[in-house]
A and B are shown apart, each in its own frame.
Chain A
Amino acid sequence: MTFPTRFSRREFMKTLGALGATALVPATRATTRELLISKPIPSSGETMPVIGLGSSRTFNVGDDIDARDTCTDVIRHFLDAGGHMIDSSPMYGSSQPVIGYALDKLGRSSEVFSADKVWISAPSKGRQQMEASLRFWGVTGFDLMQVHNLVSWQAHLETLYEMKAAGDIRYVGITTSHGRRHKEFEKVMKNHDLDFVQFSYNLVDREAERRLLPLAAEHGIAVIVNRPFQRGDLIDRLEGHPLPGWASEIGCTNWPQFLLKFIVSHPAVTCAIPATSQVEHVKENMGACYGVLPGAEMRARMIGYVENL
């Protein structure tokens, strides 16, 4: 190791500035996160910004370096805006390696609440798949591991409980989407110790309000909402219509924020995980973390407005 023998004032000030900036960056990010609307994970009390980042389809770009770099930009803006949870699955093709590529390039894996899934029929191969997922992400452990779409859930849940007890993961969850297997999902929620559940819920598909959301509140389970925009179809449907003037009362300046605020304002919902491959969209989505959330009356008004379009 060598040390500079002479240190000019300019070099000294430059170094001091760099050190100051380095020290300031985490503080700024922490402050940013403190400003966001967050909700607690019921089983631990740890708080989570209400908007996370999904990776289904959007991050599945294979080995295309340009597309990987675009995904890296999306993650950079997500983290800069105070975002925390990134969710993926082995089912999503190359999404896991792409997340790993981005986190490695940004050097910011420690800022992420990593949520992944086990999705394999053979229970004996569950651990092997999760180890592969760890390698793809380039992290030492996952914060949350979920059984994807209830595939072989009995055996996988046992494995996840063992991993949680050993400190390999911090939270255990199950997932479904598009309203699949809700009855079985309910049974698992009632009879097993879960930290998180994940399912689809949005302004025009409110089936989860009947059973799953009340059940999650009753059992103290955090809720992650997937498909908040119905894979973009809902945005496409609403884009031609004007945002109501009263949307500004809850700090919404565009349809994605309107839709996301509706979702995360449900008392049982912890966060929503819209997926995108565009920086502009992640900025819009993170905008839903600011301002106020609609109350029951405003939520009813939001439903009425969209249903009458």
Chain B
Amino acid sequence: MTVAAQFEIEYLQYLGPDGKLAGKLPPAVADAKALLPRFKQMLFVRTFDTKSIALQRTGKLGTYAACLGHEATHVGIGASMRPEDVFAPSYREYGAQFMRGVKPREVLMYWGGDERGNDFEGPKNDYPWCVPIATQCLLAAGAALAFKLRKEDRIAVSCCGDGGSSKTDFYAALNSAGAYTLPLVLCVINNGWAISVPRSAQTGAKTLAQKGIAGGLHCLQVDGNDLIAVLEGMRRAVERARSGEGGSVIEFMTYRLHDHTTADDARRYRGEQEVKDAWERDPMTRLRTYLTSQKAWDEAQEKVWLEECGKLVDVEINAYLETPVQPVEAMFDHLYADPPPDLLEQRAAAIALEKRA
């Protein structure tokens, strides 16, 4: 037999679910203390997520897509980017976005039904949340192409889910990344479920990472609940992108511990035992165990930090709740740089109607 080409997919894991080291640590995180800011960020994200779900349940927020269980992946991705890079998220990667300067109040504004949530004060060139599945991957490819043509030292990073990796747009993104050797990192966050459809029903491919092989990209599968593996996987992909070697697909193996969104009830389609088992692989627990074993963290510190997180999130929630609704004319604003007269007439009519009401 003559082999035309051969491929393999490397799997990265450093920290097992028990919090014990499964391999030699990459140099960047050999000192456990280096992981502390990331761990604290993960705790902040979980606090935010918990409080956001509560806000929705009490009628103070619209439908919300929780990120419970994804904290290591999200924070690790955000920690691997530079401010001048561009991030194109789907709609639950708050951990990555907070690290890039997106404010929790902006997340709440968005899910609270106000476009101003997309007007990030921080990362001005980052894309807003993207509901049409995986289209953000191709926007990121376009951004990466712009960086390359302008010879800028910037990269684009985009996330989609296991379901998103079935979409034309995902394939188009990885294909163009290969065709143009783009500085692009495509993160497939495999949390097991696309609403009610399990990963096994999405594709016959053994891994989702291997889809990148078709486009000539660097491919890697990492334990997305192991922050160290996430950071190391991202480091490799980001370095490739920055050095002109081209794009990567990284599959992050994690689990959606919550419903798809607050409008979903996962009990209809997945068993309790599966979720119980997934909690055993919780990214938070294993990192806490490890950091504690390294004397870098303890219960007292966690208690203090969680209190702090609660306060920080409450400030954001209050800022969101106290933001007045936009005036009716806001729905006409920012549609065109130079709005046509017909539109301005409709705007004036809407304002007049409001005044009569």
Q: Do A and B bind each other?
A: no
- Could you list which residues of chain A lie within 8 angstroms of chain B, going by C-beta atoms? none
